[in-house]
Structure 1
Amino acid sequence: MTSAQETALTYGSLAFAVVWGVLLVPQLISHYARFGRVHGRRVVTTAVVTLYSCLAVAVVLLPLPAPGDARLTQTVQLTPFQWIADVATELDEHGLSYAHAPFTLAFQQLAMNVLLFVPLGMFVVLLRRRDVRCATLTGLAMSLLVEVTQLTANFGTAPYAYRIFDVDDLLANTAGAALGGTAAVLFLALRRLKRTNAAIREAGSVTAPRVAAPTRPIAPGTPAVGGPVDVPLVDLRTRPLPRPR
């Protein structure tokens, strides 16, 4: 990590402390008014999004150019995958093999650009309930906005352009957003599968109530098990009496 990146992360953390302190009290009041309690998950989500936003803005804009800094000789780089040649150049300068490629500045810059947009892709899927394609397009749009900001010297607020408009940064940022969106989709799928399995196990553990078998009607005169014999009734008034012998 370069000194410029360390400076950006330091100021981004300080900005988060200030912004979070301003947002926390109104959010707590809103939670008590709406829910009657503090919704912990919403508070944590707001904190994470605020932290990411502050760090991302700081990394993009800081450090600002000092009055004595030399201007860039190149402000636009439109060759895709130029970072591969930059890595090879660094290795040749130091006489290192390709096994040391992850330790070169060009490779680390590429990795930082990928990781910078991974949370953005996750936020699009987890918080906005969008798919990976939407996360990728969002990453592309935000990366293009960043590169245009750097090309125009922060839209004219800086004395000159102090960052390069790099197409490799555009590709790396978009890839990071796509990776973040994919990871979020897999996380949601695993959580849904876990809940489904838990519901199936819970349903299987419930014992079904026994249903008594229907009894067949007993015909008249048939002795019941353990009960009296059903004797048919005879009307003596209609039956003739036996003659005496």
Structure 2
Amino acid sequence: MNVRLRHRAGGGRRSLWPTAALVGYALLLTAVAFWPSPVDRGVDPALESALTWLHAHGLPGMFDYAFVERSANVVLFVPLGLFVALLLPRRRWWIAALTGLAVSGAIETAQLLLLPARFATLDDVAMNTTGALLGAAASLLLRRR
């Protein structure tokens, strides 16, 4: 059974998959964001070892642990921007980036106040918002097809 939803703003028909994907993603994001300890605990020695090996084999030094962590924060929020933007009229794609900013700000604030083992940073907010913006931009490309 293919369930479809009529989109009020554009009059076009859209499937419900972005809503279902957003709900699943929100559950995953909640688990990652509110895990009591840093989610990379236990992984960091292996990652450092892998980066050391890669640097010895030509990977530029700029690709360090901080780069990987920042990139992971960007990638983590791409689905949020994508799924939110797909639920909005095309002209309102930018709301998805603002949603990323608000969600990331709320997560970092909660981590600061409620999770003493986690590290709340403005850099995470910036990287997460960048990811949401990239996801929103990807939605524009998908809609062109």
Q: Above 0.5 in TM-score? A: yes
Residue 52 (structure 1) aligned with residue 25 (structure 2):
yes
Q: Which runs of 5+ in 1 are unaligned?
A: 1-36, 66-89, 154-159, 192-245
* Structure 1 match to 2:133: 178
Residue 61 (structure 1) aligned with residue 34 (structure 2):
yes
Asked if the contact 1:114/1:176 (under 8 Å) is kept, the reply is yes
C-alpha deviation, 1:186, in angstroms? 2.3
Question: Cα deviation per residue 1:94-131 (whole Å; 9 max; x = unaligned)?
Answer: 695761543x3222211111011111111222112253
Q: Which runs of 5+ in 2 are unaligned?
A: 5-14, 38-47
User: What pairs up with 1:155-234 in 2 under 5 angstroms?
Assistant: 161-188=116-143, 190-191=144-145
Quickly say closer, same or farther: Cα 1:178–1:59, change in 2 above 3 A. same
Corresponding residue SS for 2:60 = helix
* Structure 2 match to 1:39: 3
* Structure 2 match to 1:128: 88
Asked if the contact 1:131/1:181 (under 8 Å) is kept, the reply is no
Cα distance in 1 for partners of 2:107, 2:82 equals: 19
- Number of aligned residue pairs: 120
Asked if the contact 2:19/2:87 (under 8 Å) is kept, the reply is no
User: What pairs up with 1:64-79 in 2 under 5 angstroms?
Assistant: 64-65=36-37
Larger radius of gyration: 1
Cα distance in 1 for partners of 2:141, 2:59 equals: 33
* Structure 2 match to 1:115: 75
Residue 142 (structure 1) aligned with residue 103 (structure 2):
yes
Cα distance in 1 for partners of 2:61, 2:31 equals: 29
Give me the TM-score of the superposition, normalised by structure 2: 0.69
Give me the TM-score of the superposition, normalised by structure 1: 0.43
* Structure 2 match to 1:3: none
- Higher helix fraction (1 or 2): 2
Residue identity over aligned pairs, in percent, reads 37
Corresponding residue SS for 2:96 = helix
Q: Which has the higher contact order (CA 8 A, sep 6+)?
A: 2
In the alignment, residue 149 of structure 1 is paired with which amino acid?
Answer: A
Quickly say closer, same or farther: Cα 1:152–1:175, change in 2 above 3 A. same
